[in-house]
Chain A
Amino acid sequence: MGTAIDSKAAAWNAEEVKAELLKKYPPKVARKRAKQILINEALENETPEISANVRTIPGIITMRGCTYAGCKGVIMGPTRDIVNLVHGPIGCSFYAWLTRRNQTDAGPDGENYMNYCFSTDMQEQDIIFGGEKKLAAAIQEAYDLFHPRSIAVFATCPVGLIGDDIHTVAAKMKEKLGDCNVYAFSCEGYKGVSQSAGHHIANNQVFRHIVGENDEVKPGKFKINLLGEYNIGGDGFEIDRLFEKCGITCISTFSGNSTYDQFASAHTADLNAVMCHRSINYVADMLETKFGIPWIKVNFIGAAATAKSLRKIAEYFGDKKLIARVEEVIAEEMPAVEAVAAEVRPRTEGKTAMMFVGGSRAHHYKELFNEMGMKTIAAGYEFGHRDDYEGRRVIPDIRVDADSRNIEEIEVEADPTRYQPRKSPKELEALEKAGYQFKYYDGLIPDMDNGTLVIDDLNQYEAEKLVELIKPDIFCAGIKEKFSVQKLGVPMKQLHSYDSGGPYAGFQGAVNFYREIDRLVSSKVWGYLKAPWQRDPQLSASYNY
């Protein structure tokens, strides 16, 4: 069959595993899931097609969340000086309250609303008679209490149904308040099929209402934006440290540890570096079309990936001093990383991992596992699209279905006064000739080994089956999956919010991750699962007195 992979737990065969996963489903469900479970064939110049970004099957226990979670939770959650006001019943706001471990450093006097949870706490009469008045009043009350520079409004499921016009309310309040930018997000949970729709809705509105609001030229010679980095567990802090050390100025991070003004000035940067392709690739495109800023895909998860990404940024600017400085920084940082890698490797080498997270992380973290000599034998996304698996080249072939069609695409044109290509066609050509790739992402599949499993929208049942059948040395997913996997005796690392750990980005992050994974796969606890009398169930023993 040729699809069994050679690991020490190699007693499994990908086709059999796939068949086993599908066995219990009713035929319709099995047919659908079969298209989302792919045995990687690593073909030349061509990636196998996977079905992704399709509806979740009702009744099947899913790992996914919703559009609102993607919009408010992921994208806007990490902004510290914007009052994020959720228009809806209380729960939605409550659950997104501090649970994503977005860290921030507001300084002694800085504005920081991240620790607060704001809601209109809609009641029955608001649902019956409409909640617009309450929303307007809540915006006013928030303004009177805090005088923030910006208030963002998020719609949850019932708001869309009863038809509250949150955008008009926001526009009116913006005008009334004068010095506070108010805008709204139609991110009702039922839109789209997963969080992914929410990322899109959030980014569109940030682009429409904030980006470009501040033309002031910020100091710095090499100015970039970091897109798709959310500062979970302090990742953004570590990346900022490295940028600073190299002499690269980060104008804005979308949206880890970010401020309103960072977004407002984003168009003044000269390069966009994209971390999480899924959540933000369209912002990169829009910034390029409107302002002329090119974008590249980077990855700061993994020491080698970090070094590569820093070099890529330096190469873009082409400045000799910068290039030299980046090399110096890498040379300075790497020994500590390598020392820890060498230390853990005897315990991690040859071990296997499975990863089912988000829309880019499952790919990024593969780098870190590689560095420890660990093999990723099954991976997939909770809400990726085909391009996250197969690479951007498939974007033109992606069928847009009813669930994606209602997610707004904004039409962008070159800004009449502010569009300014950062590089001349000649310079671009020279870079590309040297192997430089703009606007490019290869996707997860080409990076996965032959015979491994790539599974979209893995659900709880399949997760358990996979773990049971293959017994990986570590499984990575989110909090909902954590304890069912661990009950099976396999350590589980959360990669959405990192359990208690982090940062895992950059060089220091790599060190943290090596140590964390070493701890997990070497923990003695997994040896305690059976009591002595269960291991040796002999009925009686005789004693000689």
Chain B
Amino acid sequence: MLLRHTPAEITERKALAINPAKTCQPIGAMYAALGIHGCLPHSHGSQGCCAYHRSTLTRHYKEPVSASTSSFTEGASVFGGSANMLQAISNIFSVYNPEIIAVHTTCLSETIGDDLPQIKKKAQMEGKIPAGKHVISASTPSYAGSHVTGFSSMVTAMAGMAESTGKKNGKVNIIPGWVEPADMEEIKRLAGLMGVKSIVFPDTSGVLNGPLSGEYKMFPEGGTTVAELKATGDAVGTLALGDWCSGDAARYLDKEHKVPCKILDMPYGLAATDRFIDALRTMAGITVPDEVALERGQLVDLISDMHQYLYQKKVAIFGDPDQLIAMTEFLVSLDMQPIHIVTGTPGKKFEKRIKELTAGLGRPVNVKAKGDMFLLHQWIKQEPVDLLIGNTYGKYIARDEDLPFVRWGFPILDRQGHQYFPTVGYKGGLRLLEKILGELMDRKDRDDPESKFELVL
């Protein structure tokens, strides 16, 4: 038993978090920043944070993740980090020459109270930012929010680059939220299939799922360009996928540049994808081509074919709010029963939304924002499930409780494919379903007595 000290009995904990279902803000900001073309993320604080964030992103994406740090030692922590940051800016532009530096804070620089916009002004005055180059910043103290809110802050900082010329460019902004590079690609593919001109930001496709070719490019081809970010101010509208990750940036564009926005769920599963396609259609003023309807039909077909294996299966899931909301809706639509749901990210709205989505199950559902995996495990011990869905850390619970386990979310450290195969859209729905069914059927094949072991499932 790997988690042998976890008791089934639940006692209230006020101070101790055990096995978190979240991590800290800057890693989200770093991931988002990698979705800008030619961008070097910069961590303003001591170098350990940056090393940890880079390591975790690298382990998940299996790709180089470059990011610089202000490398505070004790002096900077006492006297403020402005000198380190200024030095960093000139070193970065002379050694790496990025188009843009996206700075985020850490707990340390936030606690000292370093003012990034102020430091940026100083850098500008001192001529440390070459002409045509950019520095943007996001405040990401980790004693608030989670990696998800850190992601959102950096995406909002990107929206801060928007400019409006007064002339619409006919494009739709799509803010995909914290999804995989392959998902961003899939969202672009769908928009392309529909003939919609779009600006997707951030866009890590091509950056964090690059080829092996004998060349290393610190700034690969992919990513949303600065020009595109500027052009978001002239778009006909914005679709924000997931309120937690993308809502703030969309609302900002609406408020500052009068780009109307619609905030949707992330397009995981059938219904959320339907709403995404429909919103895209109306915003761009086009009709949906048959190819999209065909993909949709294939997903519906697989659901109907395999319904017998899904019906009333109990599921425990953990992860990030935007993803969990869409996944819960998908599971309910498959007639499965998501009954234990935990995110580490705070937000009362989350619990309310999950309650609404699961109301039709006609049974109590455990849901907690600001929860942790220790609690989730205790819930599972109280009422066992047929399937667990979440990031790699779930494998300890899965092994102890002998549960089929689908890896989905962040981080996935021990399986491949998430960089390359989308789980959004109808095709992504097929893949999610394939994974879920694969796990359930493998389990059936393992557990069935020999007399019931069948070739045709």
- In the complex, are the beta carbons of B17 and A90 less than 8 A apart? yes
Partner of A118, one of B17, B64, B107: B17
- In the complex, are the beta carbons of B75 and A158 less than 8 A apart? no
* Cα A451 to Cα B41 with chains together (Å): 36
Q: For the complex, is A327 an interface residue (Cβ under 8 Å from B)?
A: no
Chain B residue at minimal CB-CB distance from A382: B51
Q: For the complex, is A511 an interface residue (Cβ under 8 Å from B)?
A: no
Max count, chain B CB within 10 A of own CB: residue among A56, A120, A461: A56
Known: A117-B20, A162-B111, A193-B73. A58 touches B64 (CB 8 A): no
A343 → chain B closest CB, angstroms: 28
Total number of residue pairs linking A and B with CB closer than 8 Å: 263
Partner of A69, one of B20, B51, B147: B51
A399 → chain B closest CB, angstroms: 16
Chain A residue at minimal CB-CB distance from B17: A121
Chain A residue at minimal CB-CB distance from B56: A95
Known: A116-B5, A189-B49, A403-B73. A90 touches B91 (CB 8 A): no
Q: For the complex, is B143 an interface residue (Cβ under 8 Å from A)?
A: yes
- In the complex, are the beta carbons of B18 and A99 less than 8 A apart? no
Interface size on A, residues (CB 8 A): 89
Which residues 33-76 in A have Cβ within 8 Å of B in the complex?
A: 55-69
B38-78 Cβ-contact flags toward A at 8 Å (1 or 0)? 00001001111111111110110011111111111111110
Known: A91-B142, A137-B14, A480-B54. A117 touches B74 (CB 8 A): no
Q: For the complex, is B23 an interface residue (Cβ under 8 Å from A)?
A: yes
* Cα A461 to Cα B14 with chains together (Å): 45
- In the complex, are the beta carbons of B143 and A122 less than 8 A apart? yes
- In the complex, are the beta carbons of B216 and A157 less than 8 A apart? no
B205-242 Cβ-contact flags toward A at 8 Å (1 or 0)? 00000101111111000000000000000000000000
Q: For the complex, is A533 an interface residue (Cβ under 8 Å from B)?
A: no
Q: For the complex, is B457 an interface residue (Cβ under 8 Å from A)?
A: no
B12-44 Cβ-contact flags toward A at 8 Å (1 or 0)? 011111111011111100000000000000100
For B46, the chain A residues whose CB sits under 8 A away are 66, 157, 189-190
For B68, the chain A residues whose CB sits under 8 A away are 58-61
- In the complex, are the beta carbons of A91 and B26 less than 8 A apart? yes
- In the complex, are the beta carbons of B48 and A189 less than 8 A apart? yes
Q: For the complex, is B302 an interface residue (Cβ under 8 Å from A)?
A: no
Q: For the complex, is B146 an interface residue (Cβ under 8 Å from A)?
A: yes
Q: For the complex, is A530 an interface residue (Cβ under 8 Å from B)?
A: yes
* Cα A530 to Cα B107 with chains together (Å): 44
Chain B residue at minimal CB-CB distance from A162: B111
Partner of A161, one of B48, B62, B71, B111: B111
For A489, the chain B residues whose CB sits under 8 A away are 212, 214
Q: For the complex, is A111 an interface residue (Cβ under 8 Å from B)?
A: yes
- In the complex, are the beta carbons of A91 and B15 less than 8 A apart? no
Q: For the complex, is B100 an interface residue (Cβ under 8 Å from A)?
A: no
- In the complex, are the beta carbons of A121 and B4 less than 8 A apart? no
* Cα A156 to Cα B413 with chains together (Å): 25
* Cα A251 to Cα B26 with chains together (Å): 42
* Cα A63 to Cα B65 with chains together (Å): 12
- In the complex, are the beta carbons of A58 and B85 less than 8 A apart? yes
The stretch that binds B, out of A123-131, A298-306, A333-341, A362-370, is A123-131
- In the complex, are the beta carbons of A529 and B142 less than 8 A apart? no
For B18, the chain A residues whose CB sits under 8 A away are 116-119
B85 → chain A closest CB, angstroms: 7
For A437, the chain B residues whose CB sits under 8 A away are none
- In the complex, are the beta carbons of A55 and B7 less than 8 A apart? no
Known: A61-B67, A141-B14, A141-B16. A158 touches B111 (CB 8 A): yes
Partner of A59, one of B91, B210, B393: B91
For A98, the chain B residues whose CB sits under 8 A away are 393
Known: A91-B49, A91-B52, A94-B23. A158 touches B143 (CB 8 A): yes
* Cα A478 to Cα B13 with chains together (Å): 37
A131-175 Cβ-contact flags toward B at 8 Å (1 or 0)? 000110110111011100000000011101110000000000000
- In the complex, are the beta carbons of B47 and A56 less than 8 A apart? yes
B96-139 Cβ-contact flags toward A at 8 Å (1 or 0)? 10000000001110111000000000000000000000000000
B196 → chain A closest CB, angstroms: 33
- In the complex, are the beta carbons of A480 and B58 less than 8 A apart? yes
* Cα A55 to Cα B75 with chains together (Å): 11
For A92, the chain B residues whose CB sits under 8 A away are 24, 48-49, 52
For A515, the chain B residues whose CB sits under 8 A away are none
- In the complex, are the beta carbons of A487 and B24 less than 8 A apart? no
For A122, the chain B residues whose CB sits under 8 A away are 143
The stretch that binds B, out of A9-17, A23-31, A201-209, is A23-31
Q: For the complex, is A97 an interface residue (Cβ under 8 Å from B)?
A: yes
For A69, the chain B residues whose CB sits under 8 A away are 48, 51-52
Q: For the complex, is B456 an interface residue (Cβ under 8 Å from A)?
A: no
- In the complex, are the beta carbons of A137 and B15 less than 8 A apart? yes
Known: A116-B5, A140-B15. 17 other contacts (CB 8 A): A56-B47, A56-B69, A58-B91, A60-B91, A63-B51, A93-B20, A94-B20, A117-B18, A141-B13, A141-B14, A157-B45, A158-B107, A158-B143, A403-B73, A480-B51, A480-B54, A487-B210
Interface CB pairs A-B, < 8 A, 10: A113-B5, A118-B18, A121-B20, A124-B143, A145-B5, A157-B108, A158-B143, A190-B46, A480-B51, A480-B54
A interface list, Cβ under 8 A from B: 24-26, 29, 55-69, 85, 88-99, 111-113, 115-124, 126-127, 134-135, 137-138, 140-142, 144-146, 156-158, 160-162, 189-193, 402-403, 406, 460-461, 464, 478-480, 482-489, 525, 528-530
